[in-house]
Each structure stands twice: as structure tokens, then as C-alpha cells.
Amino acid sequence: MFLSSFSETVAFFLGALSNMPAVRTFSLFAGLAIFIDFLLQISCFVSLLGLDARRQEGNRLDIICCVKLPEGQEVKTDSFLFRFFKKVYAPFILKEWVRPIIVAVFVGMLSFSIAVVNKVEIGLDQKLSMPDDSYVLDYFTNLTEYLHTGAPVYFVVEDGLNYSSTEGQNSVCGGVGCNNDSLVQQVYSASLISNYTTVAFTPSSWLDDYFDWVKPRSTCCRYYNSTGTFCNASVVNSSCVHCRPMTPSGKQRPVGDDFMRFLPMFLSDNPNIKCGKGGHAAYATAVDLYSNNTGVGATYFMTYHTIMKESPDYINALKMARELADNITQSVNHKVFAYSVFYVFYEQYLTIAYDTALNLCVSLASIFVVTTVLLGFELWSAALVSVTIAMILVNMFGVMWLWNISLNAVSLSCGISVEFCSHIVRAFSISVKKNRVERAEEALAHMGSSVFSGITLTKFGGIIILALSKSQIFQVFYFRMYLAIVLLGASHGLIFLPVLLSYIGPSVNKAKVFAANQRYVGTERERLLNY
């Protein structure tokens, strides 16, 4: 009990090192629950066993404890399950012709699972978060079927770029004279291959619209000659004059003080019939102006993603947008990042494969260390336990692929497999039979019924209730996942592991053999003296 409980507790607590909040919270809760359960087992449960021992000493029945058997009459203590494992199951599993078949079957299962590991989908369908009878499911279904617009995506240029200079403007804008690898040009080029980049349209550029709005002799940019305040294009007033006169060099862009002088007017101008380029409606929140309008801070350029329906679509869109933002950053020589409303939910899936591999490896390493210490530094026994648990975890990916269960924060953790293996290996390591087959048969006969009734059936009984839940998350990720863990753990612990021990199990402990022989010699000596 201490071996399995301590191993599971350490494995779960190490899972709390994950950067994913859902995994961290679940791991802390599970580790603490197992630790508290162990404390109750060695304290409260032992007290209850003491009461049951008094019942046995009083020769009373177990269920109807008020009924006392007559003196001399006793009930058999060996259960049917124990006799079945000892007389039927263990000898059959360890027959000479059965063992190779079992090894071949489990190696085949492992090979299949390894082959489909990379085919397990990543993500969490939002429809699974709803109960079966929720009206929101119809909303999600209709959204997927009828909505033909992707989510907006913003390419944000961080504070520090000098928009008042020609170089700064050319690195961002998309019109005549702008750089071929400017921000707007790169997003436009990405939209031409939207099937790959997931960027659907050319971005709306406040900078290009501002250039058009403020060009010389434009009817959009006007101000009152007397006060210098902005004069909307719809206002008919002789005191309203054009912002910029025509120059001999033509319609040049505003730079320096001119750029910052008219930009606040552009951002406050509402579009109208005479001027549709007013930036208040489209860009009021797109440009962050410094206090007193002395400069431009962070800005964004908005476009749209292509239509996305499944989790892989959203994850791929996030990857593509970040790659594009990195390319723009290198070209502009200024930090640019992509943002959309769904990124915060799908960012975890960019590293979930790495996090899963890391957490499982750390958990296996901790199980190996704990098992080594608690089994008396028997490295080979700990290695066999770790290998069997690793096989269970790999087979879980095969089950997930067959059952169409995706990898996400809910399905990431599974740390109860050690219970199915440690007890069998412990019984094998202390056995003093003459060969591995007999030791494996003894371990399976004595511990098999306990593992099957005390671990497998109890967990199966608690899990089966989850199948009746209306929540699809409970049905899929708790009922199916934990049912698979229990079935795989029981099959590996009660079928594969004894056969594996019969082939390559650790050698018998000579000290234990010597102690057993000494006890045998002492018993025989006492018998002869009595004779």
C-alpha cells in the first residue's frame, strides 16, 4: 500500500509542474487525495479491521455479525476468487504454450499503439463542454454549418516604431513607394494562399487610409482657419480650408510634424457621403496616441482568418499567424505579434505534445526511483514495473485513437497504473520458489485476487456511474479514459506482467532463501525432537 500510494502521489505532484493550469490543478488535487486516502487506510481502516478481528475471534459471521456459529464450526476464509486464481487462473496463464501467445498479443498491441500515436488529434471540441440536452449544442452545430466568416486577427505593432519618418512608414504601409516586404504587403501575400496561411483578406491599414485622407487638396482633411480645429467634410463653411496644399513635387505623404498634426483629426472623423475615409469608426482603437499627441504608440492592422470549424483548424490558424508575425518582425526590424479572440484557448495545444511527453517521462522516472527505494534497491524489479506502466500509457494512445478521444488538458494525466503492477512485482520479489515460473505463479495466485477485487472491480464500479452523466466531458474524458486505464492496467498487471516475470524477472533473493531454509530446518528439528 505504501509503495503504490507513495509512487502515485509523487507522480501526480510532479505533474503539477506543468504550465497548463488545468493539468496543474488536477495533479495537485489527485496527489493530495491519494495521500489523504493512504492516511485513512493506515489509521481509520486499521481500526475497523481491529473490530472485524474481534468478530472473527467471536466466531461470528461477516455480514450477519449478530449470528454466532457453534463452537468448533468455522467458515472457510479462502474466497472463491482466491481459489480460482490459485487453482485455475495462475497455472493456466503460466503454461508453457500460453506464455508466448500472451507476449505476442501484448507486443502487437504495443506496436499498433506506437504506430497511431502521432494520429491522435489535439484539441478540445467546445461542443463537448455542453450537456447532451443543451440548446447550445444546436447553436454550435448551426454555427459550423452556416457561418462563413472567419475570426478576426490583429497584427499588432508594438510601441517604438517611428511612423513620422519615411522609413517607418515604408516598413508598414502597402501603397505606392512602400517596401515589398512591408507588414501590409506580407499579409496581402499571405491572403493569396489562404488555404495554407489561413489568412483570408488583405488587412485594413489605418496608415494607408490616413495617407489617402490627408493627401493635398483632399475634401476629407479640413480645419477652421480661425481656430485650427477639425472641420468635417459635411460642414459647409467658407472658413474651412484644406489641411495640405498641393506642392510642386505632387501629392507627398505627411512626415514629421505634419504627420502628427492631422492624425488625431483622422481618428476623430466619422465617414460621410463626401468623405468615406474617416477613421473614427474603423481605427479609433487601432492607434494608441501618446499624451498631447506627441507620437504614435502601439497599433494594429486587422484582417480575418479563413473559416474554421474543428480544433485542428484553430490550432493551425494560430501557428500560421505566429509564423507570419515572426517573418514581419524580421522584415520590419520591430516586434510584431498576432492576436485573435480564440488564441487564448488554443495556445496550450502548441506545446501539449511536449508537455505530455515531459510529464509522462518525469512520472515514470519518479515511479522508478520510488519503487527502487521501497523494493530494497532492486533495480531490475523497478525497471520491469516502469516498463509495464510505459506500455500501459502507450496503449492508452492507441485507445484514444480508436475511440476518437483527443489529447488535451482533460485527457493529459493518468497516474493510477502503478497499482496494477507494484503488488505483483512485490510478491514475486519476496517469493523463494526455485524458479521464475513458480515464483510468478505464486505471486499471481496470492496477489491476483487482491488486485482484481480490491483495485480493478472497485475502480470499475466507481467509473461505470460516469457513463450515466449528461456531461459529454464526463462521458468521454472520464468514463472512457478511466475505463480504458483500468482495463489496460488490469490486463497488463494480471496477464502480461506475470508472464514477463516468468521470463526475465529478478533473481531470487539469496538472503530470503537462506532465511526460509533456516526456518524450515528449525521446524524439522523441532518436529524430530518432539518425535
What cell numbers appear for 445 in the block?
A: 495466485
Is residue 2 over pLDDT 60?
yes
Is residue 520 over pLDDT 80?
no
Q: Give the three-class secondary structure for 317.
A: helix
Question: How large is the average pLDDT for residues 132-159?
Answer: 85
pLDDT more than 70, % of the chain: 91
Q: Distance between the two ends of the chain, CA-based, in angstroms?
A: 42
Is residue 64 over pLDDT 70?
yes
Least confident of 180-194, 214-228, 453-467: 453-467
**84 Cβ contact partners less than 8 Å away, ≥ 6 residues apart:** 449
pTM equals: 0.75
Per-residue confidence (pLDDT) for residue 413, from 0 to 100: 53
Is residue 516 over pLDDT 60?
no
Is residue 371 over pLDDT 90?
no
- Residue 141 exposure: Cα atoms within 13 Å on the Cβ side: 7
Q: What is the location of CATH 1.20.1640.10 in the chain?
A: 78-119+351-525
Per-residue confidence (pLDDT) for residue 175, from 0 to 100: 84
Is residue 188 over pLDDT 80?
yes
Is 141:134 a contact under the CB 8 Å cutoff?
Answer: no
Question: How large is the average pLDDT for residues 94-103?
Answer: 93
pLDDT tens-digit readout, 472-497: 777 777 788 888 888 898 899 999 99
Per-residue confidence (pLDDT) for residue 228, from 0 to 100: 82
Higher pLDDT, 49 or 520: 49
Least confident of 90-94, 138-142, 152-156, 437-441: 138-142
pLDDT tens-digit readout, 262-300: 899 999 898 888 888 888 889 989 999 988 878 899 999
Is 213:242 a contact under the CB 8 Å cutoff?
Answer: no
Per-residue confidence (pLDDT) for residue 377, from 0 to 100: 52
Is residue 514 over pLDDT 60?
no
Higher pLDDT, 529 or 110: 110
Per-residue confidence (pLDDT) for residue 77, from 0 to 100: 60
Best CATH choice for the domain 78-119+351-525 from the list 3.40.190.10, 3.40.228.10, 1.20.1640.10, 3.30.70.20: 1.20.1640.10
Is residue 118 over pLDDT 80?
yes
Is residue 9 over pLDDT 60?
yes
Mean predicted lDDT score pLDDT of the chain:
84
Per-residue confidence (pLDDT) for residue 529, from 0 to 100: 57
Task: Give whole-number Cα distances, 107 to 94, 229, 399, in Å.
Answer: 17, 81, 15
Is 397:117 a contact under the CB 8 Å cutoff?
Answer: yes
Per-residue confidence (pLDDT) for residue 238, from 0 to 100: 77
Q: Which helix or strand (DSSP H or E) is residue 136 part of?
A: helix 136-146
Q: Please return the burial class of 129, using the count of CB atoms within 10 Å of its CB with bins 0-12, 13-18 and 19+.
A: middle
When pLDDT is cut at 50, 70 and 90, the band that residue 18 belongs to is confident
pLDDT tens-digit readout, 380-425: 888 898 899 999 999 999 999 998 888 877 665 555 677 788 888 8
- Apex CA 97: angle with CA 93 and CA 100, to 5°? 80
Q: Report CA 234 to chain centroid distance, whole Å.
A: 56
**125 Cβ contact partners less than 8 Å away, ≥ 6 residues apart:** 310, 311, 406
Question: How large is the average pLDDT for residues 256-260?
Answer: 87
pLDDT more than 90, % of the chain: 33
Is residue 306 over pLDDT 90?
yes
Per-residue confidence (pLDDT) for residue 239, from 0 to 100: 81
Question: How large is the average pLDDT for residues 193-208?
Answer: 93
Q: Give the three-class secondary structure for 224.
A: strand
CA dihedral 334, 335, 338, 339 (to 10 degrees): -130
Per-residue confidence (pLDDT) for residue 125, from 0 to 100: 77
